[in-house]
């Protein structure tokens, strides 16, 4: 090797004589590939000269600084991670490491450099000197076996560890503590390491500045502060006094607006400044709170729907309001409106209300609504599908139609509460029918089936006959005779059982009697359909029921009304019947002509 690679040294240069190398088992074939020892730090060790002079001048040990508390690394990899700084130019401002005075003992002179370095590994049993051996020139530098054994390392190709594997079963070693994270060396430690790695220029190492630390990959965000405001200015450069004026104006506007809204709402809730105007409101069973609110708004009783709905929610008004017809006033506040629409607040009694005999369900419902007892709409809906008592006479009645209770709402004089429920009204009249149709009358049905009918009559068929009698008779005295004509046509006639009763067609025409259409396509047209009508055509009184159960026995099949007397004229044959009709028609025409002449 060329000795020119090594710079000339001064006489006082310190040369470590006792620096030894680990022996190699085999010589390296290629001298250029010899690895550098990990215990020797620096680039100059890699270019070690082939021949070392036999005699070297011992270094002068005057004023040589001694490193303090140099940390020992059990693992050589820890030293590799420490950056090595070469030829760092001295910086004047960098703090110099603390100088350690040399010992007064003159025996230190003449010792090697490695001898004068204090032991930095207090916990280790062997010193570095005992681990190193005398180097052999030209030998390959290889790892020390003793170092490998002390660290539990395996040689290449070794299968079993050089320690007792049974120690792995020790329960105390099952959970090993986590190795502490490697900390970044401090500036002092970097300076000490640089001092140790220096090749002899100790004075330069002392004066060398601390190396710059590499910037980490994560940069701290720069805090952005608000720009300083100019004194006397606020947001967007507006003076503070102007901002204050604007805020005060906003507060005043908001306060005035809120105050006005509160006053308007209070005026509507408490009915301030309202005129005295009576209003009638009808509440049905099917009405919801929204529909009731709409009715109150349309009648002028409230001004704000949302405000009344809010009051209704917090006061549970929907549970207090009952169906009915109510007389209210525009001067009622919200509390009074809700209370007045409750049936319990006005339990006024309607006394002696007469339900005439022969009234249909449509007429009865209208009469009840007229007297503020219940609405016709609620009565019709409840009659079709509402829950009722288990009445024996309704066994063969099919529910679902609004007039399905036709014939069983017994006509009589009643006392009702205003704004009664539809069930109360309907059951009161049905109870009366049950009471009036006595056990004796029920027994007469069996007698009727045995003597007059074909044995198929029930209370329903009896009620149908009674309704026809009720609408056809002119007086109670002739009711049994008309009943006899009906039964004769049904069971004792050689012709088809066509009853030819005009009242049934009038019922099919919803009570319109100005014109009787005998060609009307309806099951109630007894001119086209034989037998009884599908349902009663009216609600018969007690006299008609008695006549239906006890018909007069005769041979009449026809009858016609005599306008002059108001009674019916009965006949047996068609010819006789047509004579009476012509006679009564001529008399009616003569009376009409005479009245027009007067």
Q: Which residues contact 421 (CB under 8 A, 6 or more apart)?
A: 322, 323, 343, 374
Cβ(185)–Cβ(193) below 8 Å: yes
Which among 20-29, 360-369, 412-421, 489-498 has the top mean pLDDT? Answer: 360-369
Q: Which two tokens stand for residue 509?
A: 């025409």
Contact 285, 380 (CB under 8 A): no
Comparing 424 with 164, which gets the higher pLDDT? 424
346 has a pLDDT exceeding 90: no
Which two three-digit tokens encode residue 60? 């002068």
pLDDT band for position 256 (cuts 50, 70, 90): confident
Give CA–CA dist 462/436, Å, rounded: 14
Spatial separation of the C-alpha atoms in residues 369 and 419, rounded to whole Å: 9
Nearest to 441 by CA among 409, 483, 482, 393: 393
Which candidate, 471, 475, 463, places its Cα nearest to that of 548? 463
Cα-trace Rg, the chain: 63
Extract the tokens encoding 175: 């959970």
pLDDT class for 154, splitting at 50, 70, 90? Answer: low
State the DSSP code for 235.
G
- Lowest average pLDDT, out of 145-154, 449-458, 517-526, 534-543, goes to 145-154
Which position has the token pair 């009659």? 383
Residue 111 has pLDDT above 60, yes or no: no
Instruction: Name the H helices within 218-281.
Output: 240-270
Supply the pLDDT for residue 74: 43
- Cα–Cα dist 301/544, whole Å: 49
**CB neighbours of residue 380 within 10 Å:** 17
Give the model's confidence band at 72: pLDDT under 50 very low, under 70 low, under 90 confident, else very high: very low
Contact (Cβ atoms closer than 8 angstroms) between residue 441 and residue 533:
no
End-to-end CA, the chain: 168
CA-CA distances (angstroms) from residue 282 to 288, 292, 440? 13, 9, 43
**160-174: burial string, b at 16+ Cβ within 10 Å, e else:** eeeeeeeeeeeeeee
Long-range contacts made by residues 135-138, C-beta under 8 angstroms, separation at least 24?
A: 135/19, 135/20, 135/21, 135/23, 136/21, 136/23, 136/24, 137/50, 137/51, 137/52, 138/27, 138/31, 138/50
Angstrom distance (rounded) from CA 48 to CA 70 = 26
Residue 29: CA count within 13 A, CB half-sphere: 0
pLDDT band at 382, cuts 50/70/90? very high
How confident is the model over 123-143, as a mean pLDDT?
Answer: 57
Tokens of 238: 């507006």
- Nearest alpha carbon to residue 564 among 593, 550, 544, 584: 584
Mean pLDDT of 381-401: 94
Q: Where are the alpha helices (DSSP H) in 271-372?
A: 289-298, 305-315, 317-320, 334-340, 361-370
Neighbours of 72 (CB within 10 A): 14
Binning pLDDT at 50, 70 and 90, where does residue 53 land?
very low
Average pLDDT over residues 547-567: 93
- Of residues 367 and 236, more confidence is placed in 367
Confidence (pLDDT) at 179: 57
Q: Residue 380 pLDDT more than 90? A: yes
Identify the pLDDT of residue 266: 84
CA separation (Å) from 518 to 502, 528, 580? 8, 8, 20
* Under 8 Å between Cβ of 330 and 274: yes
- How crowded is residue 538: how many other Cβ atoms within 10 Å of its Cβ? 26
Q: How far apart are CA 130 and CA 20, in angstroms?
A: 10
- Helix or strand (DSSP H, E) at 423: helix 422-436
For residue 591, CA distances in Å to 307, 364, 563, 564 come to: 68, 35, 10, 10
Q: Convert the pLDDT of each residue in 263-287 to its tens digit.
A: 778 888 888 777 888 998 899 988 9
**Model confidence pLDDT, tens digit, residues 3-19:** 444 444 444 444 444 44
Out of 31-45, 261-275, 491-505, least confident range: 31-45
The DSSP result for 3-71, as a single string, is GGGSPP--TT----SS------SS--S-GGGPPPPTTS-SSGGGG--S---SS-PPPP-TT-----SPP
Residue 80's pLDDT is what?
46
Q: How confident is the model at residue 49 (pLDDT cuts 50, 70, 90)?
A: very low
Name the percent of the chain lying above pLDDT 90.
39
Greatest CA separation found in the chain? Answer: 178
Rounded average pLDDT over 334-353: 83
Tell me the average pLDDT across 245-269: 85
pLDDT at 44: 40
pTM of the model: 0.55
| Cα 361 versus chain centre, distance | 48
Phi (first) and psi of residue 415, to 5 degrees: -115, 120
Position 325 scores a pLDDT of: 86
User: Is a pLDDT exceeding 90 seen at residue 488?
Assistant: yes
| Per-residue pLDDT tens digits for 504-553 | 999 999 988 888 999 999 999 999 999 999 999 999 999 999 999 999 99
Determine the pLDDT at residue 103: 52
* Separation of alpha carbons 172 and 168, rounded Å: 9
Label the pairing between strands 349-354 and 324-329: unpaired
How much is the pLDDT for 573? Answer: 93
User: Is the pLDDT reported for residue 86 higher than 80?
Assistant: no
Of residues 193 and 274, more confidently modeled: 274
Query: Over pLDDT 70: what percentage of the chain?
Result: 59
Distance CA 212, CA 150 (A): 36
Across the chain, mean pLDDT equals: 75
User: Residue 66 pLDDT more than 70?
Assistant: no
pLDDT top residue among 390 and 80? 390
Burial string for 574-583 (b: 16+ CB within 10 Å, else e) reads eeebeebeee
- Measured distance CA(371)–CA(350) in Å, rounded: 8
- Structure token digits, residue 80: 């590799």
Q: Is the pLDDT of residue 55 over 80?
A: no
pLDDT higher than 90, residue 175? no
Count Cβ atoms below 10 Å from residue 96 Cβ, excluding itself: 13
Who contacts 582 (Cβ-Cβ below 8 Å, separation ≥6)? none
């Amino acid at each position: 090797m060329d000795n020119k690679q090594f710079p000339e040294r001064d006489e006082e240069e310190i040369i470590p004589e006792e620096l030894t190398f680990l022996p190699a088992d085999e010589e390296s074939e290629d001298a250029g590939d010899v690895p550098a020892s990990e215990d020797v730090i620096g680039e100059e060790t890699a270019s070690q000269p082939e021949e070392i002079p036999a005699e070297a001048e011992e270094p002068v040990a005057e004023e040589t600084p001694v490193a303090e508390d140099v940390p020992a690394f059990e693992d050589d990899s820890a030293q590799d991670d420490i950056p090595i700084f070469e030829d760092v130019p001295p910086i004047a401002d960098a703090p110099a490491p603390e100088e350690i005075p040399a010992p007064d003992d003159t025996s230190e002179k003449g010792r090697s450099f490695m001898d004068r370095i204090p032991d930095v590994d207090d916990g280790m049993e062997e010193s570095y000197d005992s681990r190193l051996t005398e180097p052999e020139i030209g030998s390959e530098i290889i790892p020390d076996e003793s170092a490998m054994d002390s660290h539990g390392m395996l040689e290449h190709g070794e299968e079993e560890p050089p320690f007792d594997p049974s120690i792995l079963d020790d329960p105390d070693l099952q959970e090993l503590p986590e190795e502490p994270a490697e900390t970044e060396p401090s500036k002092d430690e970097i300076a000490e390491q640089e001092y140790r790695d220096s090749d002899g220029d100790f004075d330069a190492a002392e004066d060398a500045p601390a190396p710059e630390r590499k910037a980490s990959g994560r940069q701290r965000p720069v805090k952005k502060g608000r720009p300083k405001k100019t004194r006397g200015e606020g947001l967007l450069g507006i003076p503070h006094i102007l901002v204050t004026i604007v805020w005060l104006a906003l507060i005043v506007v908001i306060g005035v607006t809120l105050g006005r809204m509160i006053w308007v709402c209070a005026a509507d809730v408490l009915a301030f400044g309202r005129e005295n105007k009576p209003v009638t409101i009808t509440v049905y069973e099917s009405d919801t709170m929204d529909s009731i609110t709409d009715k109150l708004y349309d009648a002028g009783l409230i001004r704000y729907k949302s405000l009344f709905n809010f009051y209704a929610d917090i006061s549970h008004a929907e549970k207090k309001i009952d169906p009915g017809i109510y007389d209210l006033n525009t001067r009622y506040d919200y509390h009074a409106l809700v209370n007045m629409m409750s049936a319990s607040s006005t339990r006024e009694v309607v006394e002696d209300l007469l339900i005439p005999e022969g009234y249909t369900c449509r007429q009865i419902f209208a009469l009840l609504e007229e007297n503020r007892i219940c609405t016709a709409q609620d009565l019709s809906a409840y009659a079709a599908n509402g829950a009722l008592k288990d009445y024996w006479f309704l066994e063969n009645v099919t529910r679902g139609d609004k007039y399905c209770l036709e014939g069983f709402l017994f006509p009589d004089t009643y006392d009702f509460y205003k704004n009664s429920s539809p069930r109360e009204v309907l059951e009161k009249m049905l109870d009366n029918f049950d009471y009036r149709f006595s056990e004796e009358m029920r027994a007469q049905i069996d007698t009727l089936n045995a003597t007059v009918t074909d044995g198929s009559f029930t209370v329903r068929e009896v009620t149908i006959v009674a309704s026809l009698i009720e609408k056809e008779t002119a007086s109670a005295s002739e009711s049994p005779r008309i009943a006899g004509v009906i039964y004769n046509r049904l069971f004792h006639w050689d012709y088809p059982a066509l009853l030819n009763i005009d009242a049934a067609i009038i019922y099919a025409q919803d009570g319109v009697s100005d014109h009787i259409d005998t060609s009307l396509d309806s099951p109630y047209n007894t001119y086209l359909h034989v037998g009884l009508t599908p349902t009663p055509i009216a609600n018969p009184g007690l006299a008609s029921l008695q006549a239906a159960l006890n018909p007069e026995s005769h041979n009449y099949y026809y009858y016609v009304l005599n306008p002059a007397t108001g009674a019916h004229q009965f006949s047996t044959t068609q010819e006789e019947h047509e004579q009476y009709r012509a006679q009564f028609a001529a008399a009616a025409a003569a009376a009409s002509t005479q009245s027009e002449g007067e």
